Amino acid sequence: MKSALTYMYRGVFAPLIAAAFVATAAMAEEIGDAEQGEKVFRKCASCHQLGQGAEHRVGPHLNGIFGRKAGTAEGYTRYSPGLLRAGEDGLIWSLDNLSAYLENPKSLVSGTRMNFRGLKDADERANVLAYMRQFSDNPANIPEAQPTALPHEITLPPEILAIVGDPEYGEYLASECQTCHRSDGSDQGIPSITGWPTEDFVLAMHAYKQKLRTNPVMQNYAGRLTDEEIAALAAYFAGL
């Protein structure tokens, strides 16, 4: 004979729990438009990867970020003291905190190295967070998810990628770059290139050189550089 408690569970608590699951799922779906968020994420993809095979680059990969304590992505060692301190003070990457950080990174975390002016549009933030959440707690198992990091436009011979650049020579060459790109990594409409992995830098410059990237100023500048000069610039900016 079933206990009265069993019937009470079925009659009272089970419908409430079911309703809670439905409400939670609905809330997860209503963050924003994930399909539009994938387009917004392109603004982030030069520094962050997301999805299957994602790796740490200039910034940490963003798989599993929802619910994670700030400054604790396993294997990433380049966090600013400000972000590490925020994590130690209890900052968790909740939906609200991520939205505030995307709106104005330096306002939420003083001293962060994330040189991004922020997404001021609330719909853009909601959409990109809906997209990012697909690789976090919804679904929880992310290895099956498709990669989202943008592929490089160019494939270079191994001997070009193997060139070890001289950072001191790169510093000498960098004066022209720094008329637009700030050495302190600040971003005032011009993308930051400080701390770029050398391979990413080399691939990008050769893509401009071969006019696979469309910026005419960069095409002109990269077209004047030798392979060794590109490697030197890559070594210099990677070390900043």
- Condensed to tens digits (0 to 9), the pLDDT of residues 3-54 reads 443 434 344 444 433 443 333 333 334 678 889 999 999 888 888 998 888 8
Residues 49 and 109 in one domain: yes
Its domain, for residue 172, covers 158-238
Which one of 116, 133, 150 terminates a domain?
A: 133
Q: Are 3 and 11 in contact (CB under 8 A)?
A: no
Q: For 165, how many CA atoms within 13 A lie in the half-sphere containing its CB?
A: 29
**Does 141 fall in a domain?**
no
Q: In this model, does residue 150 exceed pLDDT 70?
A: no
106 and 175 inside one domain = no
Tell me, yes or no, whether 195 and 126 share the same domain.
no
Residue 1 lies in a domain: no
The count of C-alpha atoms lying within 13 angstroms of the C-alpha of 91, restricted to the half-sphere facing its C-beta, is: 19
For residues 35 and 127, membership in a common domain is answered with yes
d(CA 86, CA 187): 22
Asked, for residue 147, whether it belongs to a domain, the answer is: no
Residue 67 lies in a domain: yes
Q: Could you give the number of structural domains in the chain?
A: 2
Each residue of 175-189: pLDDT tens digit?
A: 888 888 776 666 555
pLDDT tens digits for range 56-87: 988 899 988 988 899 999 999 889 888 999 99
Q: Specify if 7 maps to a domain.
A: no
Round to whole Å and give the CA distance between 65 and 63.
6
Task: Tell me the CB-side half-sphere exposure of residue 176, using CA atoms within 13 A.
Answer: 11
| Pair 171, 234 in one domain | yes
**CA separation, residue 103 to residues 119, 125, 139 (Å):** 5, 7, 25
